[in-house]
A and B are shown apart, each in its own frame.
Chain A
Amino acid sequence: MKLGGGFDLRLGRIGAPFFMTSDFRNVGYTNLSVRTPFDVYGLVPVRSFDGGDLLYKTDLGETTLNGQLWLGKSGVRVSQNAQGDIDLSLSNIAGINLSAENGPLTVRFGTMKTRLGTNGSGTAGLNTLLGGLGHLGAMPGLESLATMGNDLNVNGKLATFSGLGAILDTGNWVVNTEYVKRKSETTYVSDANAWYATLGYRIETFTPYLSFSNRKLTSVTSYAPVAVPPGYPPVVQGTVPVLVAGVNGALKSTAESTSALGIRWDAGKNYDVKAEFQQIRVPAGSTGAFSDVPSGAYMVDTKVNVVSLVVDFVF
Protein backbone atom coordinates (compact mmCIF):
# COMPACT_ATOMS: atom_id res chain seq x y z
CA MET A 1 0.00 0.00 0.00
CA LYS A 2 1.46 3.36 -1.02
CA LEU A 3 1.39 5.90 1.78
CA GLY A 4 2.90 8.78 -0.15
CA GLY A 5 6.07 10.66 0.62
CA GLY A 6 8.09 7.65 -0.46
CA PHE A 7 6.55 5.34 2.16
CA ASP A 8 5.03 1.95 1.46
CA LEU A 9 3.28 -0.35 3.91
CA ARG A 10 2.87 -4.10 3.47
CA LEU A 11 0.94 -6.41 5.78
CA GLY A 12 0.61 -10.17 5.77
CA ARG A 13 3.08 -12.96 5.03
CA ILE A 14 6.18 -11.32 3.65
CA GLY A 15 9.56 -12.69 2.55
CA ALA A 16 11.87 -12.39 5.54
CA PRO A 17 14.59 -9.83 4.71
CA PHE A 18 17.54 -11.29 6.67
CA PHE A 19 19.93 -11.06 3.73
CA MET A 20 20.81 -8.73 0.88
CA THR A 21 19.01 -10.90 -1.68
CA SER A 22 16.36 -12.40 0.62
CA ASP A 23 13.48 -11.04 -1.41
CA PHE A 24 14.33 -13.00 -4.51
CA ARG A 25 16.76 -15.68 -3.32
CA ASN A 26 14.51 -18.41 -4.69
CA VAL A 27 14.19 -16.83 -8.11
CA GLY A 28 17.17 -18.42 -9.80
CA TYR A 29 17.06 -16.08 -12.77
CA THR A 30 17.82 -13.06 -10.58
CA ASN A 31 20.97 -14.61 -9.13
CA LEU A 32 24.29 -14.91 -10.90
CA SER A 33 25.20 -18.28 -9.38
CA VAL A 34 23.20 -21.51 -9.21
CA ARG A 35 22.15 -20.89 -5.60
CA THR A 36 22.83 -18.30 -2.95
CA PRO A 37 25.93 -19.31 -0.95
CA PHE A 38 24.66 -21.79 1.61
CA ASP A 39 27.46 -21.12 4.10
CA VAL A 40 25.85 -17.72 4.57
CA TYR A 41 22.18 -18.11 3.55
CA GLY A 42 21.84 -21.44 5.38
CA LEU A 43 22.33 -19.66 8.71
CA VAL A 44 18.71 -18.52 8.72
CA PRO A 45 16.31 -21.09 7.24
CA VAL A 46 13.39 -18.71 7.83
CA ARG A 47 11.82 -17.80 4.49
CA SER A 48 8.95 -15.53 5.52
CA PHE A 49 7.40 -13.77 8.47
CA ASP A 50 3.86 -12.80 9.43
CA GLY A 51 3.51 -9.14 10.22
CA GLY A 52 4.19 -5.95 8.41
CA ASP A 53 6.90 -3.77 7.05
CA LEU A 54 7.29 -0.13 6.27
CA LEU A 55 9.40 0.69 3.21
CA TYR A 56 10.91 4.06 2.48
CA LYS A 57 12.58 5.16 -0.72
CA THR A 58 14.11 8.49 -1.54
CA ASP A 59 16.60 10.00 -3.96
CA LEU A 60 19.56 11.97 -2.71
CA GLY A 61 21.16 13.41 -5.81
CA GLU A 62 22.24 10.39 -7.85
CA THR A 63 21.90 8.06 -4.85
CA THR A 64 18.78 6.04 -4.13
CA LEU A 65 18.22 5.28 -0.45
CA ASN A 66 15.98 2.44 0.73
CA GLY A 67 14.86 1.83 4.28
CA GLN A 68 12.79 -1.00 5.71
CA LEU A 69 11.41 -1.54 9.19
CA TRP A 70 9.92 -4.97 9.78
CA LEU A 71 7.93 -6.35 12.70
CA GLY A 72 6.26 -9.69 13.17
CA LYS A 73 6.68 -13.33 14.03
CA SER A 74 7.75 -16.50 12.30
CA GLY A 75 8.66 -20.14 12.81
CA VAL A 76 10.67 -22.86 11.18
CA ARG A 77 11.09 -26.62 11.56
CA VAL A 78 14.71 -27.16 12.56
CA SER A 79 14.82 -30.91 13.09
CA GLN A 80 12.88 -34.13 13.29
CA ASN A 81 13.15 -37.19 15.50
CA ALA A 82 11.14 -40.29 16.37
CA GLN A 83 8.74 -38.23 18.51
CA GLY A 84 8.06 -35.66 15.81
CA ASP A 85 9.25 -32.23 14.73
CA ILE A 86 11.19 -29.59 16.58
CA ASP A 87 9.97 -26.16 15.55
CA LEU A 88 11.78 -22.99 16.41
CA SER A 89 9.52 -20.01 16.90
CA LEU A 90 10.60 -16.42 16.38
CA SER A 91 8.42 -13.92 18.18
CA ASN A 92 8.68 -10.14 18.62
CA ILE A 93 10.81 -9.79 15.51
CA ALA A 94 12.01 -6.23 14.98
CA GLY A 95 14.43 -5.46 12.21
CA ILE A 96 15.74 -2.66 10.09
CA ASN A 97 17.41 -2.68 6.67
CA LEU A 98 19.11 0.21 4.92
CA SER A 99 20.56 0.31 1.45
CA ALA A 100 22.10 2.92 -0.77
CA GLU A 101 22.45 2.61 -4.52
CA ASN A 102 24.62 4.84 -6.63
CA GLY A 103 25.25 3.91 -10.25
CA PRO A 104 26.91 0.48 -10.28
CA LEU A 105 27.33 0.24 -6.50
CA THR A 106 24.77 -0.90 -3.91
CA VAL A 107 25.59 -1.15 -0.21
CA ARG A 108 23.22 -2.77 2.26
CA PHE A 109 23.12 -3.11 6.04
CA GLY A 110 20.50 -5.01 8.02
CA THR A 111 20.01 -6.00 11.61
CA MET A 112 17.19 -7.69 13.53
CA LYS A 113 16.36 -9.19 16.91
CA THR A 114 13.83 -11.79 18.00
CA ARG A 115 12.73 -13.93 20.96
CA LEU A 116 13.14 -17.65 20.41
CA GLY A 117 11.01 -20.56 21.54
CA THR A 118 10.50 -24.24 20.75
CA ASN A 119 7.35 -26.09 19.74
CA GLY A 120 6.41 -29.50 18.45
CA SER A 121 6.20 -33.02 19.80
CA GLY A 122 9.86 -33.59 18.85
CA THR A 123 10.91 -31.37 21.76
CA ALA A 124 9.99 -34.09 24.28
CA GLY A 125 13.55 -35.45 24.36
CA LEU A 126 15.02 -31.97 24.68
CA ASN A 127 12.68 -31.11 27.54
CA THR A 128 13.51 -34.38 29.35
CA LEU A 129 17.20 -33.55 28.94
CA LEU A 130 16.67 -30.02 30.33
CA GLY A 131 14.69 -31.49 33.26
CA GLY A 132 17.49 -33.95 34.04
CA LEU A 133 20.15 -31.25 33.85
CA GLY A 134 18.14 -29.04 36.20
CA HIS A 135 17.53 -31.87 38.63
CA LEU A 136 21.12 -33.09 38.87
CA GLY A 137 22.49 -29.57 38.50
CA ALA A 138 20.89 -28.72 41.85
CA MET A 139 23.21 -31.19 43.58
CA PRO A 140 26.41 -29.85 45.18
CA GLY A 141 29.44 -30.17 42.89
CA LEU A 142 27.30 -30.63 39.76
CA GLU A 143 26.35 -26.98 39.22
CA SER A 144 27.97 -27.02 35.77
CA LEU A 145 25.08 -29.22 34.61
CA ALA A 146 22.58 -26.53 35.62
CA THR A 147 24.56 -23.92 33.66
CA MET A 148 24.63 -26.26 30.65
CA GLY A 149 20.86 -26.67 30.88
CA ASN A 150 20.19 -22.95 31.23
CA ASP A 151 22.41 -22.21 28.26
CA LEU A 152 20.75 -24.89 26.14
CA ASN A 153 17.21 -23.84 27.00
CA VAL A 154 15.72 -21.98 24.05
CA ASN A 155 12.52 -20.51 25.44
CA GLY A 156 12.50 -16.73 25.79
CA LYS A 157 16.10 -16.32 24.64
CA LEU A 158 17.10 -13.37 22.53
CA ALA A 159 18.74 -13.82 19.13
CA THR A 160 20.15 -11.23 16.74
CA PHE A 161 21.20 -11.34 13.12
CA SER A 162 23.10 -8.64 11.24
CA GLY A 163 24.59 -8.38 7.79
CA LEU A 164 26.60 -6.00 5.67
CA GLY A 165 26.72 -6.47 1.91
CA ALA A 166 27.64 -4.84 -1.36
CA ILE A 167 26.93 -5.35 -5.05
CA LEU A 168 29.08 -3.83 -7.77
CA ASP A 169 27.73 -4.17 -11.30
CA THR A 170 29.75 -2.22 -13.82
CA GLY A 171 28.28 -3.81 -16.92
CA ASN A 172 31.10 -6.31 -17.40
CA TRP A 173 32.16 -6.96 -13.84
CA VAL A 174 29.70 -8.22 -11.24
CA VAL A 175 30.80 -8.52 -7.63
CA ASN A 176 28.50 -9.62 -4.79
CA THR A 177 29.70 -9.86 -1.23
CA GLU A 178 28.10 -10.18 2.17
CA TYR A 179 29.22 -10.66 5.78
CA VAL A 180 26.73 -11.82 8.39
CA LYS A 181 26.76 -12.44 12.13
CA ARG A 182 24.31 -14.60 14.08
CA LYS A 183 24.19 -14.40 17.86
CA SER A 184 21.85 -15.99 20.38
CA GLU A 185 21.57 -16.46 24.12
CA THR A 186 20.99 -20.18 23.67
CA THR A 187 23.70 -22.65 22.74
CA TYR A 188 21.02 -24.59 20.81
CA VAL A 189 21.26 -21.87 18.13
CA SER A 190 24.99 -21.36 17.74
CA ASP A 191 26.76 -18.04 17.32
CA ALA A 192 28.24 -17.86 13.86
CA ASN A 193 29.72 -15.51 11.35
CA ALA A 194 29.91 -16.11 7.65
CA TRP A 195 30.85 -14.36 4.42
CA TYR A 196 30.85 -14.89 0.69
CA ALA A 197 32.26 -13.15 -2.34
CA THR A 198 31.16 -13.87 -5.90
CA LEU A 199 33.00 -12.38 -8.86
CA GLY A 200 31.71 -12.60 -12.41
CA TYR A 201 32.69 -11.15 -15.77
CA ARG A 202 30.15 -10.73 -18.57
CA ILE A 203 31.22 -11.58 -22.10
CA GLU A 204 28.16 -11.05 -24.29
CA THR A 205 25.61 -13.59 -23.01
CA PHE A 206 28.15 -15.60 -21.00
CA THR A 207 29.14 -14.80 -17.44
CA PRO A 208 31.82 -17.04 -15.91
CA TYR A 209 32.06 -16.61 -12.16
CA LEU A 210 34.02 -17.61 -9.10
CA SER A 211 32.56 -17.80 -5.62
CA PHE A 212 34.08 -18.27 -2.18
CA SER A 213 32.29 -18.57 1.14
CA ASN A 214 32.99 -19.52 4.70
CA ARG A 215 31.04 -20.16 7.89
CA LYS A 216 32.68 -20.10 11.30
CA LEU A 217 31.06 -20.94 14.64
CA THR A 218 31.97 -18.83 17.64
CA SER A 219 29.97 -20.47 20.45
CA VAL A 220 30.47 -23.76 22.29
CA THR A 221 29.65 -26.80 20.13
CA SER A 222 30.61 -29.53 22.62
CA TYR A 223 31.32 -29.98 26.33
CA ALA A 224 34.07 -32.02 28.01
CA PRO A 225 32.96 -34.80 30.38
CA VAL A 226 31.83 -33.56 33.82
CA ALA A 227 33.59 -35.17 36.78
CA VAL A 228 31.18 -36.45 39.43
CA PRO A 229 32.42 -35.78 42.98
CA PRO A 230 32.94 -38.96 45.03
CA GLY A 231 30.16 -40.06 47.33
CA TYR A 232 27.28 -39.95 44.83
CA PRO A 233 25.38 -43.18 44.26
CA PRO A 234 26.09 -45.16 41.04
CA VAL A 235 22.84 -43.98 39.45
CA VAL A 236 24.10 -40.38 39.51
CA GLN A 237 27.58 -41.49 38.39
CA GLY A 238 25.94 -43.20 35.44
CA THR A 239 23.43 -40.47 34.54
CA VAL A 240 25.85 -37.50 34.34
CA PRO A 241 27.79 -38.75 31.26
CA VAL A 242 24.47 -39.58 29.57
CA LEU A 243 23.22 -36.02 30.14
CA VAL A 244 26.47 -34.46 28.85
CA ALA A 245 26.29 -36.72 25.79
CA GLY A 246 22.68 -35.60 25.34
CA VAL A 247 23.74 -31.93 25.37
CA ASN A 248 26.58 -32.63 22.94
CA GLY A 249 24.08 -34.38 20.69
CA ALA A 250 21.88 -31.27 20.67
CA LEU A 251 24.81 -28.98 19.86
CA LYS A 252 26.20 -29.18 16.36
CA SER A 253 29.03 -27.50 14.58
CA THR A 254 28.03 -26.61 11.03
CA ALA A 255 31.30 -24.89 10.08
CA GLU A 256 32.32 -25.25 6.44
CA SER A 257 33.77 -23.38 3.52
CA THR A 258 33.00 -23.53 -0.18
CA SER A 259 34.73 -22.64 -3.44
CA ALA A 260 32.79 -22.63 -6.67
CA LEU A 261 33.46 -22.06 -10.34
CA GLY A 262 30.56 -21.65 -12.73
CA ILE A 263 29.15 -20.07 -15.83
CA ARG A 264 25.83 -18.42 -16.55
CA TRP A 265 24.55 -18.28 -20.11
CA ASP A 266 21.67 -15.93 -20.89
CA ALA A 267 20.61 -18.22 -23.67
CA GLY A 268 17.21 -16.77 -24.50
CA LYS A 269 14.69 -14.09 -23.75
CA ASN A 270 13.17 -15.72 -20.69
CA TYR A 271 15.68 -18.22 -19.44
CA ASP A 272 19.27 -18.85 -18.52
CA VAL A 273 21.45 -21.94 -18.29
CA LYS A 274 24.02 -22.33 -15.53
CA ALA A 275 26.70 -24.90 -14.84
CA GLU A 276 28.66 -24.92 -11.61
CA PHE A 277 31.31 -26.96 -9.83
CA GLN A 278 31.51 -26.56 -6.06
CA GLN A 279 33.89 -27.95 -3.50
CA ILE A 280 32.60 -27.86 0.08
CA ARG A 281 35.19 -28.39 2.82
CA VAL A 282 33.92 -29.55 6.20
CA PRO A 283 36.42 -29.53 9.08
CA ALA A 284 36.67 -32.53 11.45
CA GLY A 285 34.04 -32.36 14.18
CA SER A 286 31.54 -30.46 12.04
CA THR A 287 28.51 -31.70 10.11
CA GLY A 288 28.72 -28.77 7.73
CA ALA A 289 25.46 -28.07 5.98
CA PHE A 290 24.72 -31.78 5.64
CA SER A 291 22.00 -33.67 7.45
CA ASP A 292 22.08 -37.28 8.67
CA VAL A 293 25.87 -37.38 8.91
CA PRO A 294 26.75 -40.84 10.33
CA SER A 295 28.00 -40.64 13.96
CA GLY A 296 26.81 -37.02 14.20
CA ALA A 297 29.77 -35.25 12.57
CA TYR A 298 32.63 -35.80 10.16
CA MET A 299 35.56 -37.39 12.00
CA VAL A 300 38.20 -36.04 9.60
CA ASP A 301 38.42 -33.00 7.32
CA THR A 302 36.12 -33.86 4.45
CA LYS A 303 35.71 -32.50 0.93
CA VAL A 304 32.44 -32.81 -0.94
CA ASN A 305 32.18 -31.98 -4.64
CA VAL A 306 28.91 -30.84 -6.15
CA VAL A 307 28.21 -30.44 -9.87
CA SER A 308 25.05 -28.52 -10.80
CA LEU A 309 23.42 -27.86 -14.12
CA VAL A 310 20.29 -25.72 -14.04
CA VAL A 311 17.92 -23.87 -16.33
CA ASP A 312 16.04 -20.91 -14.81
CA PHE A 313 12.87 -19.57 -16.35
CA VAL A 314 11.19 -16.24 -15.75
CA PHE A 315 8.04 -14.86 -17.25
Chain B
Amino acid sequence: MKKLIKTILLCSAMFSIHSAYAQVAVVVGAKSDIGTLTSEQVSSIYLGKSDKFPNGSTALPLDQSSGSAIRGLFYDKVTGKSEAQVKAAWSRLVFSGKGTPPKEIGSSAEVKKLVTANPSTIGYIEKSAVDSSVKVVFSAD
Protein backbone atom coordinates (compact mmCIF):
# COMPACT_ATOMS: atom_id res chain seq x y z
CA MET B 1 0.00 0.00 0.00
CA LYS B 2 2.77 2.38 1.01
CA LYS B 3 4.56 1.53 -2.17
CA LEU B 4 1.42 2.30 -4.18
CA ILE B 5 0.95 5.70 -2.53
CA LYS B 6 4.59 6.48 -3.15
CA THR B 7 4.18 5.58 -6.80
CA ILE B 8 1.08 7.74 -7.12
CA LEU B 9 2.83 10.68 -5.49
CA LEU B 10 5.82 10.23 -7.72
CA CYS B 11 3.58 10.06 -10.76
CA SER B 12 1.67 13.21 -9.86
CA ALA B 13 4.93 14.98 -9.14
CA MET B 14 6.16 14.01 -12.57
CA PHE B 15 2.93 15.18 -14.09
CA SER B 16 3.24 18.62 -12.55
CA ILE B 17 6.82 18.91 -13.76
CA HIS B 18 5.64 17.80 -17.16
CA SER B 19 2.86 20.39 -17.35
CA ALA B 20 5.12 23.16 -16.10
CA TYR B 21 7.46 22.36 -18.94
CA ALA B 22 4.73 21.58 -21.43
CA GLN B 23 3.47 25.00 -22.37
CA VAL B 24 2.84 26.05 -25.91
CA ALA B 25 2.92 29.62 -27.15
CA VAL B 26 1.35 30.52 -30.47
CA VAL B 27 3.38 33.38 -31.88
CA VAL B 28 3.51 35.97 -34.65
CA GLY B 29 6.26 38.48 -35.40
CA ALA B 30 6.73 41.22 -32.80
CA LYS B 31 5.73 43.88 -35.36
CA SER B 32 2.56 42.05 -36.47
CA ASP B 33 -0.74 43.84 -35.84
CA ILE B 34 -2.51 40.60 -34.85
CA GLY B 35 -3.87 40.79 -31.32
CA THR B 36 -4.74 37.80 -29.16
CA LEU B 37 -6.51 34.83 -30.77
CA THR B 38 -8.84 32.21 -29.31
CA SER B 39 -8.05 28.50 -29.50
CA GLU B 40 -10.87 28.15 -32.08
CA GLN B 41 -9.27 30.79 -34.29
CA VAL B 42 -5.86 29.13 -34.06
CA SER B 43 -7.44 25.71 -34.71
CA SER B 44 -9.28 26.82 -37.82
CA ILE B 45 -6.04 28.21 -39.29
CA TYR B 46 -4.12 25.02 -38.49
CA LEU B 47 -6.88 22.65 -39.66
CA GLY B 48 -7.37 24.44 -42.99
CA LYS B 49 -10.82 25.79 -42.19
CA SER B 50 -9.60 29.34 -42.56
CA ASP B 51 -6.65 30.88 -44.37
CA LYS B 52 -7.13 34.28 -42.78
CA PHE B 53 -6.64 35.99 -39.46
CA PRO B 54 -9.79 37.42 -37.84
CA ASN B 55 -8.83 40.85 -39.22
CA GLY B 56 -8.99 39.50 -42.78
CA SER B 57 -5.28 39.37 -43.59
CA THR B 58 -3.73 36.18 -44.97
CA ALA B 59 -2.51 33.62 -42.44
CA LEU B 60 0.35 31.26 -43.29
CA PRO B 61 0.66 28.65 -40.54
CA LEU B 62 4.02 27.02 -39.79
CA ASP B 63 4.24 23.52 -38.35
CA GLN B 64 7.04 21.91 -36.35
CA SER B 65 8.52 18.58 -37.46
CA SER B 66 6.19 15.65 -37.52
CA GLY B 67 6.55 13.51 -34.43
CA SER B 68 8.22 16.26 -32.36
CA ALA B 69 7.04 16.75 -28.78
CA ILE B 70 6.02 20.37 -29.32
CA ARG B 71 3.88 19.46 -32.35
CA GLY B 72 2.03 16.71 -30.52
CA LEU B 73 1.48 19.05 -27.59
CA PHE B 74 0.23 21.89 -29.77
CA TYR B 75 -2.40 19.80 -31.58
CA ASP B 76 -3.47 18.12 -28.39
CA LYS B 77 -3.81 21.30 -26.33
CA VAL B 78 -5.01 23.75 -28.95
CA THR B 79 -7.06 21.74 -31.44
CA GLY B 80 -7.89 18.76 -29.24
CA LYS B 81 -7.00 16.42 -32.11
CA SER B 82 -4.33 13.79 -32.54
CA GLU B 83 -1.72 14.10 -35.28
CA ALA B 84 -3.43 11.27 -37.17
CA GLN B 85 -6.74 13.16 -37.14
CA VAL B 86 -5.02 16.33 -38.30
CA LYS B 87 -3.30 14.40 -41.07
CA ALA B 88 -6.64 12.93 -42.20
CA ALA B 89 -8.23 16.40 -42.20
CA TRP B 90 -5.45 17.82 -44.37
CA SER B 91 -5.54 14.81 -46.71
CA ARG B 92 -9.19 15.64 -47.42
CA LEU B 93 -8.23 19.16 -48.45
CA VAL B 94 -5.10 18.16 -50.36
CA PHE B 95 -6.78 15.43 -52.42
CA SER B 96 -9.65 17.72 -53.37
CA GLY B 97 -7.30 20.55 -54.32
CA LYS B 98 -8.69 22.84 -51.64
CA GLY B 99 -5.56 23.48 -49.63
CA THR B 100 -1.99 22.66 -48.74
CA PRO B 101 -0.89 21.76 -45.21
CA PRO B 102 1.32 24.08 -43.12
CA LYS B 103 5.01 24.07 -43.98
CA GLU B 104 7.17 22.02 -41.64
CA ILE B 105 9.91 23.95 -39.87
CA GLY B 106 12.75 22.14 -38.12
CA SER B 107 13.05 24.08 -34.87
CA SER B 108 11.53 26.76 -32.67
CA ALA B 109 14.45 29.07 -33.51
CA GLU B 110 13.60 28.72 -37.23
CA VAL B 111 9.92 29.43 -36.48
CA LYS B 112 10.86 32.62 -34.64
CA LYS B 113 13.05 33.72 -37.52
CA LEU B 114 10.29 33.14 -40.08
CA VAL B 115 7.47 34.85 -38.16
CA THR B 116 9.71 37.84 -37.59
CA ALA B 117 10.54 38.05 -41.29
CA ASN B 118 6.99 37.62 -42.63
CA PRO B 119 4.02 39.26 -40.85
CA SER B 120 1.58 36.79 -42.48
CA THR B 121 3.11 33.78 -40.77
CA ILE B 122 2.04 32.26 -37.49
CA GLY B 123 3.84 29.53 -35.58
CA TYR B 124 4.01 27.78 -32.23
CA ILE B 125 6.98 27.27 -29.92
CA GLU B 126 7.70 26.23 -26.33
CA LYS B 127 6.75 29.00 -23.92
CA SER B 128 10.32 28.97 -22.64
CA ALA B 129 11.55 29.85 -26.14
CA VAL B 130 9.52 33.10 -26.33
CA ASP B 131 11.68 36.22 -26.68
CA SER B 132 11.31 39.84 -27.81
CA SER B 133 11.33 38.97 -31.53
CA VAL B 134 7.86 37.43 -31.28
CA LYS B 135 4.44 38.26 -29.90
CA VAL B 136 2.37 35.60 -28.12
CA VAL B 137 -1.21 35.56 -29.47
CA PHE B 138 -2.36 32.47 -27.62
CA SER B 139 -0.84 30.22 -25.01
CA ALA B 140 -1.90 26.85 -23.65
CA ASP B 141 -0.71 25.17 -20.50
Contact of A87 with B by CB under 8 A: no
- Please name the residue on chain B nearest to A12 by beta carbon: B97
The segment out of B11-19, B81-89, B121-129 that lies at the interface is B81-89
> Cβ of A55 and Cβ of B98 under 8 Å apart?
yes
List, in ascending order, chain B residues with CB within 8 A of A55's CB: 98
Kindly state the separation between the CA atoms of A15 and B98 in the bound complex, as whole angstroms.
Answer: 12
- Please determine whether A103 and B40 come into contact, CB atoms closer than 8 angstroms: yes
Residues of chain A lying within 8 A (CB to CB) of residue B82: 202, 205, 266
B92 x A23 contact (CB < 8 A): yes
Quick one: which of A200-214 are within 8 Å of B by CB?
A: 202, 205
Nearest-Cβ distance from residue A106 to partner chain B, whole angstroms: 10
Q: How far is the CB of A204 from chain B (nearest CB, A)?
A: 8
A191 at interface (Cβ–Cβ under 8 A)? Answer: no
1/0 contact trace for A16-36 toward B, CB 8 Å? 000001011001011000000
A205 in contact with B40 given A23-B95, A55-B98, A269-B67 (CB within 8 Å): no
Contact between B97 and A27, CB atoms less than 8 A apart? no
Chain B residue with minimal CB distance to A204?
B82
Residues of chain B within 8 A (CB-CB) of A29 are 87-88, 91
Q: If A59-B50, A64-B44, A64-B50 touch, does A272 touch B84 (CB 8 Å cutoff)?
A: yes
Q: Is the CB of A171 within 8 A of B95?
A: no
Shortest distance from the beta carbon of B117 to any chain A beta carbon, whole Å? 23
Q: Is A314 an interface residue (CB 8 A)?
A: yes
A50 to chain B, nearest CB (A): 15
Which of B49, B67, B87, B95 sits near A64, CB closer than 8 Å?
B49
For residue A196, give the distance in angstroms from its CB to the closest CB of chain B: 18
Report B-chain residues with C-beta under 8 Å of the C-beta of A30: 88, 91-92, 95
Q: Are B49 and A27 in contact (CB under 8 A)?
A: no
The answer to whether the Cβ of B80 comes within 8 Å of any Cβ in the partner chain is yes
Q: What total count of A-B pairs have CB within 8 Å?
A: 48
State the Cβ distance, A306 to closest chain B Cβ, in Å.
Answer: 24
Question: Closest CB-CB distance, A56 to chain B, in whole Å?
Answer: 12
Q: Give the contact-size bracket for chain A.
A: 20 to 34
Interface residues of B in 33-55 (CB under 8 A from A): 40, 44, 49-50
Interface residues on B, range: 20 to 34
Report chain A residues within 8 Å CB of B133.
Answer: none
In the complex, what distance in Å separates the CA atom of A202 from the CA atom of B84? 11
A100 to chain B, nearest CB (A): 12
Partner of B84, one of A62, A169, A205: A205
Q: Which B-chain residue is minimally distant from A25 (CB atoms)?
A: B95
- Which one of A15, A103, A269, A314 lies within 8 Å of B91 (CB-CB)? A314
Residue of B nearest to A10 (CB): B97
Question: Is A85 an interface residue, CB under 8 A from the partner?
Answer: no
Q: Which residue of B lies closest to A2 (CB)?
A: B51
Give the complex CA separation of A266 and B87 in angstroms. 11
Judge if B132 is at the interface, Cβ distance under 8 Å: no
Question: What is the distance, in angstroms, from B15's C-beta to the closest C-beta of chain A?
Answer: 18
Contact string against B for A residues 262-278, beta-carbon threshold 8 Å, 1 for contact and 0 otherwise:
00001001101000000
The reply to whether B95 and A62 form a contact with Cβ atoms under 8 Å apart is no
**Across the interface, which residues of B come within 8 angstroms of A169, CB to CB?**
85
> Taking CB as reference atom, which chain A residue is nearest B84?
A266
> With an 8 A cutoff between CB atoms, is B66 at the interface?
yes
On chain B, the residues within 8 Å of A205 by CB distance are 82, 84
Q: Which of B40, B81, B91 contacts A62 (CB 8 A)?
A: B40
Taking the nearest CB of chain B, how far is it from the CB of A12, in angstroms? Answer: 10
Closest CB pairs A-B (n = 7): A23-B96, A266-B84, A24-B92, A24-B95, A30-B91, A30-B92, A27-B95
16 residue pairs of the A-B complex, CB under 8 angstroms, read: A15-B96, A21-B92, A23-B95, A24-B92, A24-B95, A27-B91, A29-B91, A30-B95, A59-B50, A62-B40, A64-B44, A169-B85, A171-B81, A269-B83, A272-B84, A314-B87
Interface residues of A (CB under 8 A from B): 8, 10, 15, 21, 23-24, 27, 29-30, 55, 59, 62, 64, 101, 103, 169, 171, 202, 205, 266, 269-270, 272, 314
